[in-house]
Amino acid sequence: MQTVNSLKEMQVLVQKIRAQDKRIALVPTMGFLHTGHLSLMHEGKRRGDVLVTSIFVNPTQFGAGEDFEEYPRDMERDQKMAHEAGVDVIFAPPAAEMYPSGYQTYVTVERVTQGLCGISRPDHFKGVTTVVCKLFNIVTPHVAIFGEKDFQQLVAIRQMVADLNLAVEVVGMPIYREEDGLAMSSRNKYLTPPERKAALAIIHALRRASELFGDGERRAGEIITEAKTIIEAEPLAQIDYVKICDTKTLHDTKQIKAEAVLAVAVNIGKTRLIDNCVLDPLTMRVS
């Protein structure tokens, strides 16, 4: 495994790989890797000949007052984990190379980024789609793997790829959870022991919602109310949103007739956590 920091070096390397007719798989991350990231890497390994993972805490996707400075970083540990997962190349560019002074170009996906996290984080997705577009241009992957944990991000990236005719196959992977159900996230590191316990209100709410859906409830409002009640009972939890949306448009759903996503964002103390589950009325699948 090699670690590449320079954009130029990365571009030369992928040109060589492409000249050998090899498939490049990319897993973009912000580092501080956990098993959820590794599940994406295993999929990337399966789908490509050369697996590249980017580790870049992208400043443009953090708003003012958000946790860009505190975001956990540990390159040595990440290198070890990535190596064990079979990553061939870590791409870890310096922010000054990604956004040199005078930088002024952004990619904005309009409608699907408006609701959910777009309300409390208005410039977040613009930063995400911009950096992912740049990574696609630099690494030129055939396939890129993302987690369904960041459901709205995945929808926005699919939209960008379709709208801009990018020649990248986008693959979404299921949410990887801790044994007790908490969705894995680099931000879980911020949680104090009482907060870590309080965060379980999220999975309890999702489970209750899935149960209602499994019992045939299709009124989104009823499911949302029960999910909210569970989270509100936890004093350390502050709801940002609990919504049920169409999985393609991300418009609010009233009656679940097509595949929908129950998406939640909750502040536990100072830590903002997101989670979701997909409710599919055709297959009754809950994931």
Size of the site for ligand AMP (CB under 6 A): 17
Report if residue 185 touches ligand AMP, rule: CB under 6 A: yes
* Choice between 189 and 254, CB closer to ligand AMP: 189
Of 81, 82, 92, 175, the one binding ligand AMP by CB under 6 A? 175
90 vs 164: CA distance, rounded Å: 26
Of 43, 78, 88, 150, the one binding ligand AMP by CB under 6 A? 150
DSSP string over 197-258: HHTHHHHHHHHHHHHHHHTT--BHHHHHHHHHHHHHTSTTEEEEEEEEEETTT--B-SB--S
Work out whether strand 143-147 and strand 169-173 pair parallel, antiparallel, or are unpaired.
Answer: parallel
251 in catalytic set: no
* Choice between 183 and 230, CB closer to ligand AMP: 183
Please give the residue whose beta carbon sits closest to ligand AMP in the complex.
147
CB of 188 to ligand AMP, least distance (A): 9
Any idea what DSSP says for residue 85?
T
Residues 96-115 that bind ligand AMP (CB under 6 A): none
Report if residue 146 touches ligand AMP, rule: CB under 6 A: yes
Residue matched to tokens 């960041």? 150
Region binding ligand AMP by CB under 6 A among candidate stretches 76-84, 146-154, 205-213, 230-238: 146-154
- Closest of 214, 223, 225 to residue 287, by C-alpha: 214
Of 89, 183, 206, 245, the one binding ligand AMP by CB under 6 A? 183
Report if residue 37 touches ligand AMP, rule: CB under 6 A: yes
Report if residue 149 touches ligand AMP, rule: CB under 6 A: yes
Contact in structure between 272 and 124 (CB atoms under 8 Å): no
* Choice between 29 and 253, CB closer to ligand AMP: 29
CA 86 to chain CA centroid, nearest Å: 21
* Choice between 99 and 146, CB closer to ligand AMP: 146
Report if residue 56 touches ligand AMP, rule: CB under 6 A: no
Contact in structure between 26 and 141 (CB atoms under 8 Å): yes
Report if residue 36 touches ligand AMP, rule: CB under 6 A: yes
Of 40, 41, 161, 198, the one binding ligand AMP by CB under 6 A? 40
Helix (H) / strand (E) containing 15: helix 7-19
Distances (CA, A) of 230 to 57, 150, 216, 217: 33, 22, 20, 17
Directed axis angle between helix 200-214 and helix 220-232, to 10°?
Answer: 150
Residues lying near ligand AMP in the complex (CB under 6 A):
29-30, 36-37, 39-40, 146-147, 149-150, 173, 175-176, 183-186
| Catalytic residue set | 37
